[in-house]
Amino acid sequence: MTVYSNVVKHRMSAKLAVICAGAGVVLALAAWFLPVHLRALDMRVLRAAGSGPTVSDAATELARQNHFGAADLLRQAARRQKLPVSADLDKALAARPPAAPMTEVFIRTHAREAELARLQASSITAVRALLQTRALNNTRLFAPSSSSAGQAFDTAVVVAGCLIDQGDITGTLRSAIEAAAASANANNDTAPLEHMLLDTLSLGERLNLDQAGVFLSNIQEPETFSVLAEATRNAGSSLPTLFAAVVLSGQPHAVASYLRDYNDTALHDLAASLPYGSGAMTELLTRQERLYGAIPANENQLARSLDSFCLRETGFALTLKCLFYLLGGFFLAEAAHYARPQPTARERPLEVRGVHYARESLFAVGFLLVVLLLSEPFLAQGSQKMEIRLHLPTVGGLIVSGTASAKSLMPMNSSNTTLLTLLLFFVLQALLYVACLVKLAEVKRQNVAPRVRLKLLENEEHLFDAGLYLGFCGTIVSLILASLGITGWSLMAAYSSTSFGIIFVSIFKIFHLRPARRELLLQSEEDRPTTEAVVMTPSLATMP
């Protein structure tokens, strides 16, 4: 009967192990396929956000408003992404070739002098302040206007003045230029004004008057202006994409923030959002996250509904993903519990009811941590912060005198790899610490004599010291990876592993293990007279 009962229990445990393993795999896969991430925006979610006018629609609207230069740049951005462009737009733009860039026009003496004469009649105080700076002789980056190389400074003044005069530079940006010009005219530092003129000149080298006007129409902050000017200098053939992002989104400040934070990949991600319209662009700029993943070739309606759900309920979807991973890890650990061999009769007193749930919960947390670290994109990405440097533009081959010093408008942020490493080591040591607490509680509750429990605690000494072993291994691996150039060099991240191990092991042994052993020692001493009496009683009975 006992053998039959053991066979039934074994078969039942095997079935439960299979069921738990299947549930764990299904939950883990469900979490894997949810298109939501901690630090990235999935392409499927971006497509679900697609709505509103496309870049081709925006180009058509600009052409209808006679902004043919801006419409031409948007058409170029559409063609770079292989998007359809209406034949009417092609026909309208073919009849009006785009004008030359502003700098190319105003570097010519005749055109520049004519524009200066026109600006002299302007009643705008910012324009008047700019024109007065032509009398400065203490410039640091440009040659003074009165010198033989002063045409570069005059060209920059004309470009800025023209944009202010026709109402393209407004708001705080216009006030900042006016304040910088007034300060320079008062014999103060001219560097702030000259930096703004250099940024304006950079735009003028690449955009004509119509394009620059549309580009600057929503830019209000000087900082945004500086970031976008730097991005324009470095955009190269991706300039239409940058132009389309600013115009289509209508949020130049958000575009500047995205470019500043993800300098290496920003233009690629902005270009990837263009096929899905202004709604997708707005979602990308609102999230301020890098794009990840790809659009599947064939996606059913259920998958599209899942994409829309992750778009609408991002926080809830991310919570579900973590919960599915957590439950998946728990069921996998439960499957391992049921799949283990049945304890022998000698080991049954060591079984403590319910303790395995604590171990499986710890495994689930560790499983969640490991899966997120291995699967989540960009968790340990290095800094891409844009470092704005001063580029002295050459206008028509002119070399502008001055100092090519760094223009540090945006300080670079340090990588978060060190912080993530510290967090990883801390969580691992904390999980191991909790595992030791669970094992200690299990030994204390086992149905054996106190002296046996003392021996069992001694047997677990290696487990209780595992935090030290893990700490040393973490430090060694970190130093090896840093030496090989695989990760960044950080002594703080390397030695934190050993430090956390020492701290957690010390806390466990001093505040938990030591009191438990003392209590068991006292119990074993109390039980010793009883044990000795039991042993001596048969001996007395055998005496004659």
pLDDT digits (tens, 9 = 90+) for 329-367: 999 999 998 998 877 777 777 778 888 899 999 999 999
* pLDDT, tens only, 297-307: 888 899 999 99
Same domain, 204 and 154: yes
DSSP H helices in 109-221? 109-120, 125-132, 151-165, 171-185, 191-206, 209-216
Same domain, 202 and 324: no
- What pLDDT score was predicted for residue 424? 85
DSSP state, residue 384: B
Tell me the HSE value of 470 on the side-chain side, using a 13 A CA sphere.
Answer: 22
Q: Spell out the residues 6+ positions from residue 429 whose beta carbon is closer than 8 angstroms to its own.
A: 467, 470, 471, 497, 500, 501, 503, 504
Instruction: Choose among 350, 369, 386: nearest CA to 233.
Output: 386
- What pLDDT score was predicted for residue 488? 60
Same domain, 120 and 71: no
Hey, what amino acid is at 260? Answer: R
Q: CB 37: neighbour CB atoms within 10 A?
A: 23
| Domain boundary residue, one of 188, 213, 238 | 238
Cα separation values, 65 from 57, 368, 369, 371, 540, Å: 13, 55, 54, 53, 117
Say if 297 falls within a structural domain.
no
Residue corresponding to tokens 């003496």? 109
Say if 271 falls within a structural domain.
no
Cβ–Cβ < 8 Å for 286, 254: yes
Say if 389 falls within a structural domain.
no
What is the C-alpha separation between 34 and 455, in angstroms, rounded?
Answer: 49
| Domain boundary residue, one of 222, 238, 254 | 238
Spell out, as residue ranges, where the chain has pLDDT lower than 50.
1, 392-414, 539-544
Say if 401 falls within a structural domain.
no
What is the pTM assigned to this prediction? 0.80
DSSP for 247-308, please give it. HHHS-HHHHHHHHHHBTTTHHHHHHHHGGGHHHHHHHHHHHT-EEES---SS--HHHHHHHH
Say if 300 falls within a structural domain.
no
- What pLDDT score was predicted for residue 405? 42
Same domain, 108 and 67: no
Say if 364 falls within a structural domain.
yes
Residue corresponding to tokens 């304006």? 200
Cα-Cα-Cα-Cα dihedral of 119, 121, 125, 129, to 10°?
50
Hey, what amino acid is at 277? Answer: G
Same domain, 13 and 120: no
Same domain, 109 and 78: no
What is the C-alpha separation between 348 and 9, in angstroms, rounded?
Answer: 15
What is the C-alpha separation between 163 and 218, in angstroms, rounded?
Answer: 13
Instruction: Using the Cα atoms of residue 146, residue 152, residue 155 and residue 156 in order, give the sign of their dihedral.
Output: negative
Same domain, 542 and 522: yes
Query: Whole domain around residue 539: which residue ranges?
Result: 421-544
Cβ–Cβ < 8 Å for 242, 235: yes
What is the C-alpha separation between 78 and 247, in angstroms, rounded?
Answer: 13
Same domain, 450 and 500: yes
Same domain, 368 and 456: no
Q: CB 110: neighbour CB atoms within 10 A?
A: 7
Instruction: Using the Cα atoms of residue 139, residue 144, residue 150 and residue 155 in order, give the sign of their dihedral.
Output: positive
* pLDDT, tens only, 269-284: 999 999 999 999 999 9
- What pLDDT score was predicted for residue 341? 80
Say if 93 falls within a structural domain.
yes
Instruction: Using the Cα atoms of residue 165, residue 167, residue 171 and residue 177 in order, give the sign of their dihedral.
Output: negative
- What pLDDT score was predicted for residue 489? 57
Q: How many domains does the chain have?
A: 4
Say if 388 falls within a structural domain.
no
Measure CA 438 to chain center: 36
Same domain, 232 and 116: yes
Same domain, 119 and 169: yes
Helix (H, G, I), strand (E, B) or coil at 380: coil
Tell me the HSE value of 31 on the side-chain side, using a 13 A CA sphere.
Answer: 24
Same domain, 473 and 530: yes
What is the C-alpha separation between 507 and 505, in angstroms, rounded?
Answer: 5
What is the C-alpha separation between 63 and 78, in angstroms, rounded?
Answer: 15
- What pLDDT score was predicted for residue 529? 65
Residue corresponding to tokens 């549309």? 214
What is the C-alpha separation between 219 and 251, in angstroms, rounded?
Answer: 8
- What pLDDT score was predicted for residue 30? 95
Hey, what amino acid is at 186? Answer: A
- What pLDDT score was predicted for residue 481? 75
What string of H, E and C letters represents the secondary structure of 388-437? CCCCCCCCCCCCCCCCCCCCCCCCCCCCCHHHHHHHHHHHHHHHHHHHHH
